[in-house]
């Protein structure tokens, strides 16, 4: 099979980024009640804004398409976790806000979320976590520089 010791470590990281994303979603989906990992991520992103964001702003914060975010938001609205209303200045823009039910769910599940994150980073010291954080941010920034015309795969 593969000799991982001899492989380009960047290719190993490339593969593991996909594997980590898949495993993270699978583990969270199996342990969280009422919400999927992606729905929870949208709710976390809502917390980044002082005022209810537009769907476009929320999609940008989640780094996903408008359509994917809209599907997640509509499902969250069906479950009563968010409210949707038209923007006062631009009737075409939808504003998204966390509902009281969402805020209560967040309080009720805070300990579970903390335990999950603690378990995920178990055995890593703060220096390792800081280094990983910086490295992932650098990769994220580098991906912003790739526009499809400059890189051929």
Residues 55-77 have pLDDT tens digits of: 999 999 999 999 999 999 999 99
Cβ atoms 84, 73 nearer than 8 A: yes
Fold of the CATH domain 9-108 = Arc Repressor Mutant, subunit A (1.10.10)
Average pLDDT score over residue span 124-149? 90
Average pLDDT score over residue span 3-10? 84
Residue tagged 């992932």 (tokens): 136
Average pLDDT score over residue span 103-125? 93
Cβ atoms 82, 102 nearer than 8 A: yes
Tokens of 118: 């603690």
Domain with CATH 1.10.10.10 in the chain: 9-108
Percentages helix, strand, coil for the chain (3-state, rounded to 5) are 60, 5, 30
Average pLDDT in the chain: 90
């Amino acid at each position: 099979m593969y000799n991982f010791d001899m492989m380009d470590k960047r290719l190993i990281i490339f593969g593991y980024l996909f594997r980590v994303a898949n495993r993270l979603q699978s583990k969270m989906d199996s342990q969280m009640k009422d919400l999927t990992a992606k729905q929870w991520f949208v709710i976390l992103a809502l917390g980044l804004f002082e005022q209810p964001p537009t769907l476009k702003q929320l999609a940008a914060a989640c780094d996903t398409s408008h359509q994917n975010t809209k599907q997640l938001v509509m499902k969250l609205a069906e479950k009563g976790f968010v409210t949707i209303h038209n923007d006062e200045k631009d009737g075409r823009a939808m504003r998204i806000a966390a509902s009281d039910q969402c805020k209560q769910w967040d309080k009720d599940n805070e300990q579970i979320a903390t335990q999950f994150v603690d378990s995920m980073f178990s055995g890593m010291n703060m220096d390792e976590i800081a280094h990983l954080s910086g490295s992932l941010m650098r990769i994220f920034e580098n991906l912003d520089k790739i526009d499809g015309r400059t890189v051929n795969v």
